[in-house]
Structure 1
């Protein structure tokens, strides 16, 4: 069993964070203008401008020390290897279309369950032959969605831990992160590193 990827959506239905671990095919970069900046450098549209520098490495507040960590915006970022040269690895949908499909599936299933079973029932996961989708929704409207091996147990508690731990610590309580702006993702190096460490430490992760 293993964990494939994590998506976070805000209350405006926009994907504000993405992280993958063991995808069979790498995520295809989004079309320029299709996603918010700083969602993930792996799916950011390829450009040759200084703005392509990873925004997650700028304006980040380390909560324990109060030190602001900044990186020169003019330092060019090394492009991802084979980002456009291998059609076999990038034959799927662009990431912005993939993110819309994931959110659409969750929204449709959640609405269907509410109409059939009533407001007391919650949609928390569903399983297919190739993956299992897990959902945790916060009171503020953020949706944490994780894709895992179909044989994995419910990982809703893991999504809740991500929210109550790294998300609150490095995103909500970080005054330099633009929350709910409709213009920017929420990625920063501390949140990404902490989330990655948490997922790799799980017994379900192989």
Structure 2
């Protein structure tokens, strides 16, 4: 099982953080272009899912799967968007994303008085804690 990369976007679509671990193929574009494309795709998929859903769902869009990878999605009540790309065999990623939010992001970004919300995450402590957390996962 493999975790490829993570994106964290704010509610407006600004890329707050990106990191990759086991990503073999590169997109062939700048990180900014890739982030805009990713956010636009998520916005469209989320809108599509909400419009065609036969029932009212609390969670809506959670993930999509291709033949090569799975994109997992978590949106917080404040509009933060956490996207984790994994291989197709990875399990328990929804809980993993919730733990990244509550145990890493809240602890090392939100509670850090030096960090400015809605700006790219510069905290080395956040980066190192996230990296360690991901590397300790069975799906890494």
Query: Match of 2:123?
Result: 188
Q: Distance in 2 between matches of 1:119 and 1:8?
A: 26
Aligned length: 138
Q: Distance in 2 between matches of 1:187 and 1:154?
A: 28
Q: Which has the larger radius of gyration?
A: 1
The DSSP-based 3-state class of the residue aligned with 1:195 is helix
Range 151-160 or range 127-136, more displaced: 151-160
Q: Distance in 1 between matches of 2:97 and 2:39?
A: 16
Using the size of structure 2 for normalisation, the TM-score is: 0.92
Tell me whether 1:94 sits opposite 2:37 in the alignment. no
Query: Match of 1:197?
Result: 132
The DSSP-based 3-state class of the residue aligned with 1:7 is strand
The DSSP-based 3-state class of the residue aligned with 2:129 is helix
RMSD over aligned CA atoms reads: 1.4
Per-residue Cα deviation, 1:63-99 (whole angstroms, up to 9, x for no partner): xxxxxxxxxxxxxxxxxxxxxxxxxxxxx01111111
Q: Distance in 2 between matches of 1:100 and 1:125?
A: 18
Cα distance change of structure 1 residues 156 and 187 upon mapping to structure 2, 3 Å threshold: farther
The DSSP-based 3-state class of the residue aligned with 1:23 is coil
In structure 2, the gaps of 5 or more residues are none
Tell me whether 1:127 sits opposite 2:65 in the alignment. yes
Q: Distance in 1 between matches of 2:105 and 2:21?
A: 18
Using the size of structure 1 for normalisation, the TM-score is: 0.64
Query: Match of 2:86?
Result: 148
Per-residue Cα deviation, 1:87-144 (whole angstroms, up to 9, x for no partner): xxxxx01111111111112111111110011441511001001110000110011000
Q: 1:26 offset after TM fit, Å?
A: 5.4
Matching of residues 101-140 of structure 1 within 5 Å? 101-117=37-53, 118-120=55-57, 122-140=60-78
Query: Match of 2:104?
Result: 166
CA contact (8 A) 1:16 1:187 kept: no
Tell me whether 1:11 sits opposite 2:11 in the alignment. yes
Moved over 4 A (4+): none
